[in-house]
Structure 1
């Protein structure tokens, strides 16, 4: 069956079609896509994954047409605060 694996950085996005078996999981699709070779900084033990925008586990079973998403960590940094005391 056909699924896709997607990952997006601010400067680059990839959408990789992948063939998987009927009983395969999110993790299988990620490995079959070779995306971990393209982006070695991906840390599946720390980053969340999902299917069509819904967070799921690496051992979730796939359905034909699923889009597996690897989410980047969200890191908020405050803007530089200026002193506006006039």
Structure 2
């Protein structure tokens, strides 16, 4: 029996540096296995590939150790948020409101 393979991508980005790596994996590979096999840690050694949150094309994958990757998909490794986006929007709205009142 011949092992079938497929092409996928793994991406990670910082504000000043981004990397998208293409790799060939076997059918049945999980999202986490693709991340581990990508070699992305050579470019970003600070990322904990065993536990980092990941998604596919911008949609979070809640169980990356179970979810099988499909041919052509791009796995994105997410970094922690520095600030809560809702709180930032609230602060910006309050600042704009105060500026309009003066």
TM-score calculated relative to the size of structure 2: 0.69
| Correspondence for 2:22 | 17
1:70 aligns with 2:81: no
Per-residue CA deviation, residues 15-64 of structure 1 (Å, 9 max, x unaligned), is 1001011110111111211112321111242x310011111022210100
In 1, distance between residues paired with 2:83 and 2:69?
A: 32
Would you identify which runs of 4 or more consecutive aligned residues in structure 1 move more than 2 Å?
Answer: none
TM-score calculated relative to the size of structure 1: 0.81
In 2, distance between residues paired with 1:37 and 1:13?
A: 13
Gaps of 5+ in 1: 80-86
Report if the CA contact (8 A) 1:3-1:66 is conserved: yes
| Aligned Cα root-mean-square deviation (Å) | 1.8
Task: Find 1:61's aligned residue among 50, 57, 68.
Answer: 68
| Correspondence for 1:26 | 31
The number of residues matched between the two structures is: 78
